[in-house]
Chain A
Amino acid sequence: MSAVEMDAEAPADWDRAYNFAYLDEQTKRMVRRTILKAVAVPGYQVPFGGREMPLAYGWGTGGIQVTASVIGPEDTLKVIDQGADDTTNAVSIRRFFARVAGVNTTEATEGADIIQTRHRIPEAPLREGQILVYQVPQPEPLRRLEPRETETRMMHGYAEYGLMHVRLYEDIARFGHIATTYGYPVMVNGRYLMSPSPIPKFDNPKMADNPALQLFGAGREKRIYAVPPYTEVRSLDFEDHPFTIQTWPDACALCGSTESYLDEVVLDDRGGKMFVCSDTHFCTERRAEKEAQNEETLGAPEKPQLAEGGQRER
């Protein structure tokens, strides 16, 4: 666990103008009761009395309330946005918890007790005892098909999900394949249709039978749902059109990974581009390993190769 110790920031006291983790204890208890119900009924969206947070709706208020309700002073928190620890909103949320909870923060996936995420699941496998908190903009997978909450609640009640299958079928009829690339709907525990939040479908298989507890918080829509550890999560598909995930012809230009989700980085205005891992911690770790190996064999670290015009900050 040396990597963990290395980049974990020193614990600090929290801003005593606020209760620990900002929310008052009654509110946290209410959120935890909601979470317990969500865990008991996997994939079911439990309404909760979401509070107004000092961060904007749509910017992670649901995830923040969930994290605030389950975090303790001894916990270590990791926050990612688009898979990266250093995106501005991830930095902002991490700063918020450092201020109102004084907790340790880390970039190491394996070193975190709680990982709050927007749009990605880390590449490194999670373990038992970890909690993955998703920020959810729209918890209702059926919302684009049916705008009314009163209707969609009934559809879930009767497990009436034909509409979604029809939509996927229409994609196949029109394009020859399903044209949903993120927020790809899943069936949880064979009962509830669930939105995995706008993660790329690449990440969907990681949700299934995951040893970690997965909690989903939608602040604006005031819903919490959960996938308990080791739960069946199946991406919707058809026998003759099985679910597939994204692949790239390229490897990560920095660490050479061919298994991770890649972001396209535009290098110039002449169409030059390269692909790099979206999970920054995963990429950094792999490069450190490679450098260590190279030092052993060659005696000198190999610099990552960049295409012409690419600028490098680290």
Chain B
Amino acid sequence: MYVAVKGGERAILNSHALIAEERRGDPELPEITVGQIHEQLGLSVDRVMAEGSICDRELSALAIKQAQGDLVEAVFLLRAYRTTLPRLAVSKPIDTAKMLVRRRVSAAYKDIPGGQVLGPTYDYTHRLLDFALMAEEGVGEPKAPVAEEPLLPDMPHVADILDFEGLIEPEIPDSDGEEVYDLTREPMSFPAGRDQRLQNLARGDEGYVLALAYSTQRGYGGNHPFAGEIRMGEVSVEIEPEELGFAIDIGDIVVSECHMINQFKGSAERPPQFTRGYGLAFGHNERKVMAMALVDRALRAREFDEAVRYPAQDEEFVLYHSDSVEAAGFVSHLKLPHYVDFQAELQLIREMRREYEERNRKEAAE
């Protein structure tokens, strides 16, 4: 009526028109296509896909285009779309030991069965701006050489090698028949099981998980970690329809996985052994899965009778604040009008101010 927030419907529609215009940018330049984003901004696409909880690179690319490259907004778009999808089946656990590996490295051993596979990584690039990428005519068709011998089809996990000697805690077996906790259908509940925790971290904001992981390394709740193994590549997804009674392959997805191996000095019930932290995400998301594995281990503090002293070990703190869609929504809601409450506070502060001045006057008079 009198204030800008009461702009109403026409202002909203005009604002939509304005973002459409801004998104398109200079019309002299060709419009970017979803295919181009999908192919040439692949790591953005993978991050949005992982945090958006839909394994669909094309939809992720569309979300990035629609959000003008704002990845948090793109995650939000994917999540809102995801809500409307029907649930057809629950897949069998994927077997990452059978991964068609594109990258696989271990920092725990010099050489490992199956070999170290560097794959596509920025790790050993020098971070110098490559001005050749600015050239109008583009970079042509760069080609990487192909190895003479194919990789082994089976790549055992490094943690499983330690497992033979009993030096690492055994992996928790897949619980057949037991339903996996699903945060998209059930609210958070505490104490959180590992399934709930890992799902939460996998969907969590990469920056947030990274910062928490970093805090454990700087002394806020760390257990000295070794990157047991990091791998990325294709795995097949299988479902077992009830009427069929056997599993069928429904396609391949790319995932990144990290096994952290952490020190543990032992307790009254457990011998000294290594413990595990685990990270997994859709797509090529190495930084995310490493951070996730560190935070996963930090959150197991109670399980190992370790004192819970630091933020990364506190499951309510970590899990309640990891989701970028929730966090961005609640922070941005401060933009909504609050003038009813503000008026109430104004009244109170005026009253308190009057009382304060009265008191001072009285004291001065005495």
Contacts and interface: CB of A to CB of B under 8 A. Distances in A.
Interface of A: 18-19, 22-24, 47-54, 56-59, 61, 81-84, 86-89, 91-92, 95, 118-120, 137, 147-150, 175-176, 179, 181-183, 198-202, 220, 222-223, 246, 261-265, 276, 278, 280, 310-314
Contacts of A92: 12
A84 B12 contact: no
B84 A148 contact: no
B337 A81 contact: yes
A265 B9 contact: no
Interface string B184-198: 111111110000000
Interface in B184-214: 184-191
Contacts of B341: 119, 181-183, 198, 200
Contacts of A246: 344, 347
B83 A86 contact: no
15 contacts: A51-B83, A53-B83, A57-B325, A57-B330, A59-B333, A95-B9, A179-B348, A179-B352, A198-B341, A200-B340, A223-B187, A246-B344, A278-B343, A280-B1, A313-B2
A106 to B, nearest CB: 15
Interface string B1-23: 11101111101100000000000
Contacts of B191: 150
B344 A200 contact: yes
A35 B345 CA distance: 32
Nearest to A201: B344
Interface in B101-118: none
Contacts of A175: 352, 355
B200 to A, nearest CB: 13
Contacts of B336: 58-59, 81, 89, 118
Contacts of B11: 88
Nearest to A177: B351
Top 8 nearest A-B pairs (CB, nearest first) are A57-B329, A58-B333, A181-B344, A222-B187, A56-B329, A58-B330, A54-B80, A52-B79
Contact of A58 (B86, B332, B339): B332
B240 interface: no
Contacts of A182: 340-341, 344-345
B316 A24 contact: no
A56 B1 contact: no
A91 B344 CA distance: 24
Main secondary structure of the interface of B (DSSP, over half): helix
Interface in B298-338: 316, 320, 325-326, 328-333, 336-338
Given A52-B82, A59-B329, A179-B352, 15 more contacts: A52-B184, A58-B331, A59-B333, A86-B6, A91-B12, A137-B330, A147-B316, A150-B190, A175-B352, A179-B348, A246-B344, A262-B343, A263-B339, A263-B343, A264-B339
What bracket does the count of chain B residues touching chain A fall in?
Answer: 35 or more
Most buried by B among A82, A95, A311: A82
Nearest to A198: B341
A258 to B, nearest CB: 16
A49 B87 CA distance: 15
Given A58-B333, A88-B7, A24 B84 contact: yes
A87 B9 CA distance: 9
B348 A148 contact: no
A181 B2 contact: no
A58 B133 CA distance: 41
A278 B6 CA distance: 12
B332 A47 contact: no
B189 A47 contact: yes
Contact of B2 (A49, A61, A179, A265): A265
B161 interface: no
A56 B333 contact: yes
B88 to A, nearest CB: 13
A82 B337 contact: yes
A82 B5 CA distance: 11
Contact of A148 (B187, B316, B355): B316
Contacts of B329: 56-59, 61, 220
A293 to B, nearest CB: 23
